[in-house]
Structure 1
């Protein structure tokens, strides 16, 4: 960001290395008014989440750069920020003693290695027979929903599941989506949607 009272460029909060993740806590937000800077910051954050692009302000023009930043939003209700996937947390059998324990550093290091390695597995692909299987499942689910008077799965749901299936596949250290991994992904997403229904009924 270019400062008007200087001839130098200052780095912004979102100018970070590739693969950085931000944890945004909406639970600490309070009522109030956004000033001009706040509005522009919110627009920048929305653009980052939706398009993975960050606006840089120079003296005579603005320019957008591509980013690789992950965003996790914590919220007590429907998030204010745009998100692709909402996952209500389960609080059954909540135990403060378990949640307050710090994990040993060596375990955290292993988690970081796991996430770092599997995030960048290359050559992910969907075989033709699996693609056909997914298509058939989609048709069957829509037909069953019509018969049972349920909400139709739409192309946005399918796109989300395709993304989740890729992440699930990579999480197992694989690069090829299989029917078994697709079925597993669908079960996970159905559980997520059930959590959403339970959360909305509160």
Structure 2
């Protein structure tokens, strides 16, 4: 039964939707939730069925699909400020009008009269390719060998993608299960499954541009703890540190250890701030004139290890001209470099910085980065107000001097390279000596597992007892200070954190 439904849904999702509508006997207001539940059971219960749905990504752009194809879009929610969209839920002969069916009908086919109770709202938002999503992660999600793929160019509404002049997919997403849509926030990473169409960005404006629209049948929010494990994690750490040191840090294993710790960090608690520290690798040589790449080898290494990694080559020109924080203009949210999903690693390189003037916009950009480093928050600017939203970004700075020219990081590690390996600091992707596929998978799993386990420590009973006894002893030695120690500390000594 499920198999037959799966095949039908893949071939003609609109037909399946109409059949579900005609068989449905419940309240019409609950039909969108019924559809979401039905398609979730088919597509979102296992990775195998999910990957049967064609991917929408930079290698499989919207124009490579026929209208009303069923696709899945692994995307970041960029803008949730769009007004809800009205649609006619019930058409003539008890036909479904949602999911783009009524919008695409010619005027001659619209019912001459209709019940205003059949006018419903769909949540509209803008979603983009996950910024910084690395090539291996994109290929893993696609899980298809499609020789007919055609890489996309910079699409319309490119100002809504954080990284300027970068190929990506931008789609207007329409969700009919409004209750489920209410929980979606900017920078959430979501897998949407829906029917792909092309529509006017704003149906109320005659000159509005045409954009791709995805009418969502079901969706799933990605957890920041998603990831696999492997039995080889016990030996992966030392090999990982050795590989990073030799391949990208001139043989400095101490710096590599700090880097691995940084990659494993995340926001653990905001109430009592336990945030990932920012790190500067200082004394990092600038590329010589003979260097084959302006990007450090570390960029390629991190791209091999992490699902989401973004390098920003800082310069005065970039700081003074580009946007780092999102800003709403004419009720349209423009993105910025820092509008990225939780779990992203940001590599800021200062080797292109030269003497010059930093204008007000550049100062504001630096302040935004520092705010992410210090408080893990990012300010969004609106016409009459500003709001700060939580982030969870690991930040790594590379600088030539003893400290960063712009940022105050929590950790500064001077790089100490071996002369024989110093030339490895700047290599092209093709020159990087990657481990075999199995070992690379173990490295990725080690980092993902370490990030998931952050803040989870099992304390043995004898250690817990020692902590309690030491706490009591200190209170007895200094009663005046003991009154300032809260009972919660004593209680926590006997618990597992």
TM-score computed with the length of structure 1 as normaliser: 0.57
Q: Write the mapping of 1:1-202 to structure 2, written as runs, cut at 5 A.
A: 1-4=326-329, 6-77=330-401, 78-80=403-405, 81-95=407-421, 100-104=431-435, 106=437, 107-121=439-453, 123-124=456-457, 127-128=463-464, 129=466
* Distance (whole Å) between structure 2 residues aligned to residue 132 and residue 54 of structure 1: 43
How big is the shift at 1:3?
4.3
Give the SS at the match of 1:45: helix
How big is the shift at 1:110?
2.9
Give the SS at the match of 1:9: strand
Change (3 A) 1:131 1:74: farther
Task: Give the structure, 1 or 2, with the largest relative contact order (CA under 8 Å, sep 6 or more).
Answer: 1
Q: Which protein has the bigger strand share?
A: 2
How big is the shift at 1:60?
1.1
Change (3 A) 1:38 1:132: farther
Partner of 1:152: none
Give the SS at the match of 2:389: strand
* Distance (whole Å) between structure 2 residues aligned to residue 8 and residue 52 of structure 1: 24
Change (3 A) 1:105 1:39: farther
CA contact (8 A) 2:328 2:381 kept: no
Larger radius of gyration: 2
CA contact (8 A) 2:346 2:395 kept: yes
Partner of 1:168: none
Change (3 A) 1:123 1:29: same
CA contact (8 A) 2:376 2:391 kept: yes
Change (3 A) 1:92 1:43: same
* Distance (whole Å) between structure 2 residues aligned to residue 86 and residue 130 of structure 1: 32
How big is the shift at 1:63?
0.4
* Distance (whole Å) between structure 1 residues aligned to residue 445 and residue 469 of structure 2: 34
* Distance (whole Å) between structure 1 residues aligned to residue 327 and residue 449 of structure 2: 36
Deviates more, 1:43-52 or 1:107-116: 107-116
* Structure 1 residue ranges without an equivalent (≥5): 134-175, 178-202
Q: Which protein has the bigger helix share?
A: 1
* Distance (whole Å) between structure 1 residues aligned to residue 371 and residue 332 of structure 2: 25
Give the SS at the match of 1:112: helix
Partner of 2:50: none
How big is the shift at 1:19?
0.7
* Distance (whole Å) between structure 2 residues aligned to residue 8 and residue 79 of structure 1: 34
* Structure 2 residue ranges without an equivalent (≥5): 1-325, 426-430, 471-495
Change (3 A) 1:111 1:57: same
* Distance (whole Å) between structure 2 residues aligned to residue 132 and residue 24 of structure 1: 46
* Distance (whole Å) between structure 2 residues aligned to residue 31 and residue 131 of structure 1: 57
Give the SS at the match of 1:28: coil
TM-score computed with the length of structure 2 as normaliser: 0.25
Give the SS at the match of 2:410: coil
How big is the shift at 1:34?
1.2
Partner of 1:186: none
